[in-house]
Amino acid sequence: MPRFVVSGLFVLLTATFGLGQHMIAVDSSRALYEIDVATGAKTLIGTVSANAGTTAGLAIGAANVVYLTSTGNDSLYTLDLATGTATLVGAYGDAAIVMHGLEYVPATGKLYGASSHNGGLYDINTATGAATLIGTSGLGSFTNLGWDSTNGIMYATNSNTPENLYTMNLATGAVTLVGALNGPTNPNGVAYVAATDTLYMVDNSTDNLYTINRATGAATLIGTTGSGNLLGLAWTTGPVPVELQAFDVE
């Protein structure tokens, strides 16, 4: 961070943005964080606007558009990371849907969602928010999605006991068991980083960040994210706000 030489003053740096690549996360109360993938530590970078209700899954679309699902409003939003403003795209069209998982596939330009009310995989219209059922997975509870863009595989976690990693068929919604996570007890947001060929996951019972072995399903602890209810996780190459910092200058 640059240091300003202004004798006797206390300077507050307020308008900086971190460029490059960032892991972002959101919790159910709309708090927005950046996650350190080396340690798991989270840093508050903003708050999503109240119109989004109860926030959950995140996905990064074309041109770094951030998509956000609301489990309270049963709707899709876009999210401005610089301001925290959530803009309504539209309702899913079924009040029973609790869209927890959210993931975008760049090769096809499709946004997918996973709902806990029927274990369904949905194709979500990014212009209207309308959700079309593709098929059901047979899984109960919350399902989260992570797209492996290197190998073209959709991974899914589920918070049912035992907590497992699955692959998901995007044409049918059916899942295939990879293996047990072995540690996390309430797996939530999943995100893949192509640069390091790594699948990450947050768990809001243990409040930890993990990497996941895609061959076995086993989760490896990175570190604690701190107490909270992190639900959405996404990797973005766009700018994010930097934590405000105050410091004495000479």
Per-residue pLDDT reduced to its tens digit, 123-180? 999 999 999 999 999 998 899 999 999 999 999 999 888 899 999 999 999 999 999 9
CATH of the domain at 171: 2.120.10.30
Note whether residue 5 is domain-resident.
no
Give the model's pLDDT for residue 7.
Answer: 38
Note whether residue 99 is domain-resident.
yes
Note whether residue 11 is domain-resident.
no
Q: Kindly indicate the confidence band of residue 32, based on its pLDDT and cuts at 50, 70 and 90.
A: very high
Name the helix (H) or strand (E) containing 212: strand 208-212
In angstroms, the CA 55 to CA 78 distance is 12
The range of the structural domain enclosing residue 25 comes to 18-248
CA dihedral 242, 212, 140, 207 (to 10 degrees): -50
Q: How many domains does the chain have?
A: 1
Q: Region 186-202: what's the mean pLDDT?
A: 97
In the predicted structure, residue 197 carries a pLDDT above the cut 70: yes
Note whether residue 27 is domain-resident.
yes
Give the model's pLDDT for residue 243.
Answer: 53
Note whether residue 13 is domain-resident.
no
Phi-psi region of 118 (alpha: psi -120 to 50; beta: other; left: phi over 0): alpha
Q: Kindly indicate the confidence band of residue 202, based on its pLDDT and cuts at 50, 70 and 90.
A: very high
In the predicted structure, residue 96 carries a pLDDT above the cut 60: yes
Please say whether the beta carbons of 66 and 108 come within 8 A.
no
In the predicted structure, residue 8 carries a pLDDT above the cut 70: no
48-62 per-residue burial string, b: 16 or more CB within 10 A, e: under 16: bbeebbbbbbbbbbe
What's the mean per-residue pLDDT of the chain?
89
